[in-house]
Amino acid sequence: MPRLRRISDGEGFAGSVVESIAWNEDGSFKQVSGSKVTVGESVRVGTMTAGTYSTRDWWMTTPVTLILEERKNEEGKYEYVKFETENSTYEIFV
């Protein structure tokens, strides 16, 4: 299960859905552009349905400013990405 973690304090979320959220210039929602961490877009990790036993259903970062490290598995799929946002550094284990 994908897991997003903020490095400074370990906060984050684990869930079955990873989305890259694109924004319009005015800051309004534009679209879900996929599931790959992308500079200029936010990363959202959550569940398909409401979290029955949790106080939250997802975690979304501010827009990504820099990708620091990426690792792929033998099939070429991403398994780890470390990145910076406007205010934090995160890592995601896919």
Q: Is the pLDDT of residue 54 over 80?
A: no
Task: Centre a 10 Å sphere on the Cβ of residue 94 and count the other Cβ atoms it contains.
Answer: 19
Please report the pLDDT score of residue 48 as a whole number. 77
Write out the DSSP string of 36-79.
S--TTSEEEEE-SS--TTSS-SEEEPSPEEEEEEEEE-TTS-EE
**Six-digit token string for 29:** 């929602």
**Beta bridge mates, 81:** 70, 92
Mean pLDDT of the chain: 91
